[in-house]
Structure 1
Amino acid sequence: MEETIIAQRRQKVEALREQGDHPHANDFRVTHTAAELHDLYSDAERWTLEALDEAAVKVSLAGRVRAVRRFGGMVFLGITDGSDVCRPGDDTPIGRRDFQAALFKKVLRDAHPQSWQRLDLLDIGDIVGVTGQVMRSKRGELSVNVAEMRILTKTLRPLPDKWHGLTDVSARYRQRYVDLMMNDEVRRAFRTRSRVVSQIRRFFEARGYLEVETPMLQSIYGGAAARPFNTHHNQLDMPLFLRIAPELALKRLVVGGFHRVFEINRNFRNEGSDSEHAPEFAMVEAYEAYGDYDTMATLTRDLVQRAAR
């Protein structure tokens, strides 16, 4: 079944090329994200159908098609562009923002007939770019009245089921990009991790710690009891190891005169893996001259409290 779908979509790729459209275009310019569009014009009392029509705001947005609804001479596309809805008064992402693109045959037939013809080559999962005027549908939904639509990236493989998403746990880890398309919880986890790392960095910098980067390739591995990954430096003809911890290099920096140092980086341990242990992982490690166990215990407590805010 999937092979048949892929073959059909390859034919559509060739059809796009024949009509002069690049199936993987990179020359579309976006003016707004879906989140920005809703932030600016979602107030239905201020931006009524008539007010939007009078303002005649032109926008260009791009995103992945998640739904196609056809009603004779009207087609509505549900498009997601990766922008997120944030909690009011905060920048914490709480969901993904989509937008609706409305294509009317009677409008495009004269203004841009090629846009209407491209709908025959469109599939769910394709990335499209739309340019048009901000409008509100009769049901009150904020939309873009499309004056031009381009298929920017033609997808070959079908997306997982819209309602059930990607359920195979192994596939979710191996194809994280697909999981990100389908699962808002995973997207939030990625953004939350980024915020936590930023908080950790600011925490150390505010206390006078210098962020450093120490070598990944080491001639002597240490700082932990673990099996390393081995490699070989051809020019120097010497064995090297992917580091299992940055401890030794960080302590040398303290000896060199930097009394407070920290590093957020990758470590590698050639051992078993499970849901809580990976051969490659990120770790924060810090050292302070003249500090003791109590110093680092207090630092760690404050760090966890700050990162969890």
Structure 2
Amino acid sequence: MAPEQQHTVGDELARFLRARRTQTSPQSVGLTPGYGVRRTPGLRREELATLAGVSIDYYTRLERGKETRPGPGVVDALARALHLDDDEHHHLRELAVRASRFAPEPPPPPSRTVRPHLKLLLETVRPNPAYIVSRSMDLLAWNPAGLALYAGMDDWPLARRNLARYIVLHPVARELFPDWDVQVRGCVARLRTEAGLNPDAPDLAGLVGELLLKSPDFARLWERYDVIGRKKIQKTVHHPKVGVLTLSSQSMNLEGTPGQRLGVYTAEPGTPDHDAMLLLDLTAPADSARRDAVTAD
């Protein structure tokens, strides 16, 4: 990684620390806020440095991006002082590792080509909605229900079919997801995690720039620098064609194709949710979905 790129990753480490510090109240870490108005939201730098057992000068250099090689002990101490959860702690460790790494050239972007056996897998799991996405959440391949689940996505050209773009910008998304604000927070946190570890990646930078420009909600959440792990969740949608259905979702990294993830939705057989899922698969435009999945590589 070139020196200027190393500095960029160091900046991401600094931004994350600053965001977490300013969102951590003194009371939450056992400090008495004292009298008067605090000019700084959250903890002061000197308070966090003291809690973590590092010098104020060293922490200030970390937060200004001038120190990019904190050891594991310092990283763990900062995580404890900030009461980071497991996902945030892991992200801080990853940022510290990336910031201290030096390589002659940046890594190549991950492949967007979906291997044939993975396309076959998408067909095999029908009627369960399933798709494969890139690290920037571009749809790379899908089965009919996987595309149809996101109502109105098929109206967009292939190059615009992206889950984050859909949830943040598509007019149908707010009606589709009763917990739209939760869905948006998850998208922002996932992109924040990826962009923090790959700050110069054009695919991530382009998408984030577009969403920052077009969505005040996205911009506000982006500044918070929340990160989140990927967990098994249930998702309820109010679908215009099949009604309300609640599906369990699971996503996983694909072996041998870095940067690609498989997402699959399931429902218990014999339930109304499963019946609605069957109807979604039966009414999806299967031919165009298969054609698009091949072309989207």
State whether TM-score is above 0.5. Answer: no
Between Structure 1 and Structure 2, the one with more helix by share is: 2
**Larger relative contact order (Cα-Cα within 8 Å, sequence gap ≥ 6):** 2
The TM-score, its normalising length taken from structure 1, stands at: 0.22
Instruction: Pick the structure with greater CA Rg.
Output: 1
After TM superposition, the score normalised by the length of structure 2 is 0.23
